[in-house]
Amino acid sequence: MSPNAQDIRKSIEQNWKEYLSRYGNLFSSDSISGSSPPSVFVGSYGYPKVGVGPMVPPIHGDTSLLDLPEKWSGKTLEDIVNFRLKLVRGVQNVSVAHPQGRYIESLQELAMSSNTPDSDIVFEKHTSPITTIDGESAPFGPIGEVKTAKFSGMSTNQTIEKTYYDKDLKAEDAVVSLYESGIEISKIQKCFSIGMFGKERKLVPTRWSITATDDIISKSLVAEILDYQTIDSYQVFTHEHLGNIFSVFLFPHRWIFEMEEAWYTEKGEIGFGADAEDANGIDHYPSIAGAYFAAKLGVAEHLKRKQRQAGVLVLREIRPEYAVPVGVWQVREAIRAAMSKIPVLAETIDDGLSLACKHMSISKSEWLTKGTTLKMLKQKSIADYF
């Protein structure tokens, strides 16, 4: 681990100790009172009977920033982790196939809320000072088994409420409809997770619902993109944040998409992962998991705005400074940030690949040995792209 990564971990550990000192009563108390961002979480352990509940900080007021990744651009890794450590997660074990009863209804109302409702949670016993980091969803703080949960002062988002009461609307159509209405993806994901969409409704573990939401929306966008003309230039977009370096290379071609990731192991070796698709979509679950769909969504949004289609290669270098994984939202938001910039134009395929790798410690030759798109680009001539 690099010195910088060690410093980050030490800083996070120190902040956690300070948080424990400030809010130590949380871990010897059987209750919490605060304003939920609003936030709900559905676990995956024990599936199909899983822990379901709200996430609440010991803070009253506008706490929305604690669970709104769309607003975390420019925040440091320490900032984000410490946002999340303030969230105490309540759980009750519920069957995913039967999301019914007053408890689930109250969580669905919470998920629909457009403000940060006052929340009073009583636990069966003392909360446990456990932090959970799974790489897909953002981490959170202590966990407690919910005895009672009361929420007040909720203001319901009317667009989400209308979708919720439409029992004939397919879950996929509900997700796309809300996205097109301007609802944040993180908000849609929570509603999807707590069983608010579709004809046969069920709970979906949060880590799965994040990927499913990105997948559904990106598929919808690509279906439109396929009707557009291809771009006529080589374009490179880059963005760095939270110890990750991203490069997006767009080139004249019918829609194909590949994402490659590289990271450093504890022994200092380089690990690689890659997945790809054409206009028919991907035929397997990506080896790089939710990051694939998150990146695909960010690029597809850009191409829809431009009303063009393209071949796409996304390179992600995960630096040792990315000391604590905070969820695949950061991939989606990083790609969105990259695509909002003015691209660097290249004259040739090789120049484009060089530009894409320019700011990375992984060399172009190393990237070329992985995946399929880079090899194809090196082998084909411009006439093959149309």
**pLDDT at position 11:** 62
Is residue 4 pLDDT above 80, yes or no?
no
Backbone dihedral angles phi then psi of residue 75, each to the nearest 5 degrees: -80, 150
Domain with CATH 3.30.230 in the chain: 229-385
Mean pLDDT of 95-117: 95
Percent of the chain scoring above 70 in pLDDT: 87
The whole-model pTM stands at 0.91
Q: Which residues pair with 96 in a beta bridge?
A: none
For residue range 232-284, what is the model confidence (pLDDT) as tens digits? 999 999 999 999 999 999 999 999 999 999 998 878 888 999 999 999 999 99
Mean pLDDT of 46-60: 95
For residue range 340-375, what is the model confidence (pLDDT) as tens digits? 999 999 999 899 999 999 999 999 989 988 878 767
Beta strands, E only, the chain: 31-35, 40-42, 49-56, 88-95, 118-123, 143-152, 229-230, 234-241, 244-251, 256-264, 270-277, 308-309, 311-318, 344-346
Mean pLDDT of 110-131: 88
Q: Rounded to whole angstroms, how far apart are CA atoms 315 and 53?
A: 36
Beta strands 118-123; 256-264: pairing state? unpaired
- Average of per-residue pLDDT values in the chain: 89
Is residue 173 pLDDT above 90, yes or no?
yes
pLDDT band at 379 (very low <50, low <70, confident <90, very high): low
For residue range 175-227, what is the model confidence (pLDDT) as tens digits? 999 999 999 999 999 999 999 999 999 999 999 999 999 999 999 999 999 99
Higher pLDDT, 52 or 370: 52
Mean pLDDT of 83-95: 91
**pLDDT at position 383:** 43
- DSSP for 307-335 reads TEE-EEEEEEEE-TT--S---THHHHHHH
pLDDT band at 12 (very low <50, low <70, confident <90, very high): low
For residue range 32-41, what is the model confidence (pLDDT) as tens digits? 999 999 999 9
**Fold for domain 229-385?**
Ribosomal Protein S5; domain 2 (3.30.230)
The 3-state secondary structure of 202-259, one letter per residue: CCCCHHHHHHHHHHHHHHHHHHHHCCCEECCCEEEEEEEECCEEEEEEEECCCCEEEE
Q: Rounded to whole angstroms, how far apart are CA atoms 94 and 83?
A: 27
Listed range (65-74, 165-174, 302-311, 371-380) with the worst mean pLDDT: 371-380
Is residue 94 pLDDT above 70, yes or no?
yes
Mean pLDDT of 55-67: 95
**CA 205 vs CA 82, 191, 202, 336: distances in Å:** 23, 11, 10, 25
Mean pLDDT of 276-305: 96
